[in-house]
C-alpha cells in the first residue's frame, strides 16, 4: 500500500512549509510547491526526504495564473496516482509598494481607483481564484478515486481539502479590506466544495489563522515605537498587543500551531463546510473582554475635553 499523499500550495515558506513537514512526519508523501522561492522549496523538500524518508515532490507554480492550479494538481496526481489531502495555503497580503519601496496603506474610503484595481487583481487572482481552482481540481480527482473505490465494492476512504483563509474574513482592518474580501470570498467556495464532496467522503473546511509569526508578518506595520520611533513589524505589533491582553492566549501564533490544526482538521471525517478560527482567541477579545482598555481611553478623552 502506498503512502497517503498531501499537496500543500505555498509550502516553500511560513505556515505552508511547516504544514507540509508535519504531514511528512506522519507518513505522507508530499508536494512542496513554490512560486518565487525555489531555493527555499528545495530546502524544505530535502529536509523532508532526509528526516522522514517520505517522498517530497518539488513543483513550481504561479497560482495567480489561470491554468497553474489545475496543472499543479494534474502533475501531483500523474506522479503519485492518488491525492488524499489538499491544503490551499498560498496567499499574499494587500499593500503594494510605491516607487521608493514604501508600502501604501489606503483606508477603504480613500483608495484611488487605479490603486484599488491593481491591488484587487494581485490579491484576488491568487488568494481567491488560485485557491478556488486548486480546490476544484483536487475535488475532481478525489471524487474520481472515491468512485473507483465504490465501483470495486470498497469503502470510500476519507479525503479532505482545507483552505487556509484568515480571521480577516470577518475581522476588518480598514487598510486591509482587499485581503479580507479574498478570504471571505473563499469561504463560500468551501461551502460549495463541501456540498459536492460529502457524498464521496470528502470533507472541506476553512482554517482561519489569527496573527502568525511568518515572513508575511515580518513586513512593516506602519506603527512606530513611541520611545525611539522605529517601525514595528506586524508580528511585533500584534505580539505586544497580545501581551497587553488583546487575546486570551497572550502570544501570537507559530507556524507549528497552524500546522497542527491543519493536520487535525484534515483527519476529522464528520466535520465539513466549517470555518474555524485558530487565533489564540483574538476574535473573542472584543469590547466586552477589553472593557478596561476602552474605559480608560474614554475617561482620558473626556478629561481632555
Ligand atoms: N501569517 C499570518 O499571520 C497569517 C494569518 C492569517 C492567514 N494567513 C494565511 O496563511 C497563508 C500562508 O501565509 P504565511 O504567513 O505562511 O506567508 P508566507 O511565509 O509569505 O508564505 C506564502 C507562501 O505563498 C506562496 N506564494 C506567494 N505567491 C504565490 C503565487 N503567485 N503562486 C503560488 N504560491 C505563491 C509563497 O511562495 P514563494 O515564497 O515560493 O513565492 C509562500 O510559499 C496565506 O494564505 C495567508 O493569507 C497568514
pLDDT tens track for 2-35 = 999 999 999 999 999 999 999 999 999 999 999 9
What average pLDDT score do residues 67-78 get?
Answer: 98
Taking Cα atoms as reference points, which of 102, 147, 149, 94 lies closest to residue 120? 94
Instruction: Give pLDDT, residue 96.
Output: 82
Mutate which of 9, 10, 238 for ligand 1? The one with the most ligand atoms within 8 Å of its CB, which is 10
Q: Environment class of residue 204 by beta-carbon count within 10 Å: exposed (0-12), middle (13-18) or buried (19+)?
A: buried
- 89 found inside a domain: yes
The rounded distance, in Å, linking the Cα atoms of 197 and 63 is: 23
- 236 found inside a domain: no
88 lines ligand 1 (CB under 6 A): no
Reported as a single tens digit per residue, the pLDDT across 189-244 is: 999 999 999 999 999 999 999 999 999 999 999 899 999 999 999 999 999 999 99
- 103 found inside a domain: yes
Q: How many domains does the chain have?
A: 1
- 107 found inside a domain: yes
CATH number of domain containing 61: 3.40.50.720
- At a CB cut-off of 8 Å and minimum separation 6, what does 264 contact? none
User: Ligand 1: distance of its center to the CA of 92 in Å?
Assistant: 6
182 lines ligand 1 (CB under 6 A): no
Which structural domain, as residue segments, surrounds residue 118?
A: 5-215+252-282
Model's pTM, two decimal places?
A: 0.97
The rounded distance, in Å, linking the Cα atoms of 55 and 45 is: 8
Beta-bridge partners for 88: 163
- 235 found inside a domain: no
C-alpha cell belonging to residue 24: 511528512
Amino acid at each position: 500500500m502506498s503512502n497517503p499523499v498531501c499537496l500543500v500550495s505555498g509550502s516553500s515558506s511560513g505556515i505552508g512549509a511547516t504544514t507540509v513537514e508535519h504531514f511528512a512526519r506522519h507518513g505522507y508523501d508530499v508536494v512542496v510547491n513554490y512560486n518565487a522561492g525555489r531555493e527555499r522549496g528545495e530546502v524544505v523538500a530535502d529536509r523532508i526526504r532526509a528526516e522522514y524518508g517520505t517522498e517530497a515532490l518539488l513543483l513550481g507554480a504561479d497560482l495567480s495564473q489561470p491554468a497553474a492550479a489545475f496543472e499543479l494538481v494534474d502533475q501531483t496526481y500523474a506522479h503519485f496516482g492518488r491525492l488524499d489531502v489538499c491544503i490551499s495555503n498560498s496567499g499574499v497580503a494587500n499593500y503594494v509598494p510605491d516607487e521608493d519601496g514604501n508600502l501604501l496603506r489606503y483606508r477603504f474610503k480613500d483608495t484611488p481607483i487605479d490603486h484599488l484595481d491593481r491591488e484587487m487583481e494581485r490579491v484576488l487572482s491568487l488568494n481567491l481564484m488560485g485557491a478556488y481552482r486548486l480546490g476544484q481540481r483536487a475535488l475532481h480527482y478525489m471524487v474520481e478515486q472515491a468512485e473507483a473505490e465504490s465501483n470495486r465494492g470498497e469503502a470510500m476512504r476519507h479525503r479532505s481539502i482545507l483552505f487556509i483563509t484568515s480571521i480577516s474574513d470577518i475581522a476588518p482592518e480598514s487598510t486591509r479590506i482587499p485581503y479580507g474580501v479574498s478570504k471571505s470570498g473563499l469561504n463560500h467556495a468551501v461551502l460549495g466544495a463541501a456540498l459536492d464532496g460529502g457524498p464521496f467522503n470528502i470533507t472541506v473546511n476553512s482554517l482561519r489563522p489569527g496573527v502568525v509569526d511568518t515572513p508575511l508578518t515580518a513586513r512593516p506595520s506602519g506603527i512606530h515605537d513611541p520611545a525611539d520611533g522605529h517601525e514595528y513589524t506586524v508580528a511585533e505589533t500584534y505580539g505586544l498587543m497580545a501581551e497587553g491582553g488583546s487575546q486570551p492566549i497572550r502570544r501570537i501564533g507559530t507556524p507549528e500551531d497552524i500546522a497542527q490544526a491543519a493536520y487535525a482538521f484534515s483527519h476529522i471525517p464528520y466535520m465539513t463546510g466549517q470555518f474555524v478560527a485558530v487565533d489564540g482567541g483574538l476574535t473573542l477579545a472584543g469590547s466586552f473582554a477589553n472593557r478596561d482598555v476602552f474605559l480608560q481611553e474614554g475617561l482620558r478623552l473626556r478629561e481632555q475635553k
